[in-house]
Structure formats: structure tokens, C-alpha cells
Amino acid sequence: MDFFLFSPAGNGLNKETRFTFGGSNATKTIELSAGRWAYNCTGFFDSGDIVITGAIRDAASVDTQISQVGRSDTKKYDAEGIRIMENSGTWSDSINRLLPYMSPQGVERVVNIYLERHLFPDITPPEAARQVASTIEPALKHMTKEAGESANSKITAY
């Protein structure tokens, strides 16, 4: 049996993930980001049930994960921040909680993804650019000076 999960990619295109289950019991666990998800099942099986179970994590769970892993594992925090931003395209409390534990390069990547999705030449009004600047302000202190200046220059171009 094939199970297809379609994630919200933030740009109008859903990303498809396919799971194939054989003739025995199986469990797959994936982490869902914010947004509208869709699924579909297809295949033949003799008998049984398909059960989809969801759990909603509160924002504090990111803090719990950080304390369990340790502060020195910046690559893990970089990957988590980038994953959140690529999947949702929005700046969230989860991103803000990860910032102190991320490398300057990881923070820069998250900021650049955000800017790519929210600043568009010739169509972004100045008010919207100011809102973007306000949103990324907490990240600037975690970036290298050059990267922060680069991000600010992208915003002030509007």
C-alpha cells in the first residue's frame, strides 16, 4: 500500500512524500510544519486498518529539544531553523528560540530564505519592507556584521 503525504511548501506547490507499507504492521513518524496538509492512500491489502495519528506540540517543545541536545550542536539547530523556514516561509517563535543556538551562517541562511520569500523587486511596498526589517531584527545580533549589513541593504533597497 502506498501512502502519499503532501506538505504545504509555502509557494503554492505541495511537496509529496511517499511511504510504502508491506504486509506487516509498520509505523512511520514525521514532523509536520504549520500549514494545510493533504494525504492519499492507494493499494491492495487483505485486511487491516490504516490509522493516522497526530500530536500538536507546543512552542516550548523547541526549548526542551535544545536542552536535551546541548548548546554546542549548532549544526542541528541550523538544520532545524532552515527546515522550519523552508517549510513554512514564516518567522515564528520557534525560529526566535533557535537563534541563540545557531551558527551565524545558519542564521544568515534562515534570514536569506525569509527575504527571498517576502521581498520582491518592483512590487514590495515600503511599508511591507519595513515589516520584514522588523521581523528579522532579532536575528541580526546573531549574524556576522557583514551578513547583517547585507540583509539590511537588501531591505533598504525598497
Using alpha carbons, select from 126, 127, 125, 155 the residue that is nearest to residue 139: 155
β-pair partners for 2: 20, 42
pLDDT digits (tens, 9 = 90+) for 2-49: 777 777 765 555 677 777 777 666 677 777 666 777 777 777 666 666
Cα 11 → chain centroid: 13
Q: Where are the domains of the chain?
A: 2-42, 60-156
C-alpha cell at position 88? 513554512
Identify the residue with better confidence: 35 or 149: 149
Give me the helices (H) in 70-144, please. Answer: 74-88, 93-98, 104-118, 126-140
pLDDT digits (tens, 9 = 90+) for 83-120: 988 888 888 888 888 888 888 999 999 999 988 888 87
Mean pLDDT of 135-158: 81
CB 14 within 8 A of CB 6: yes
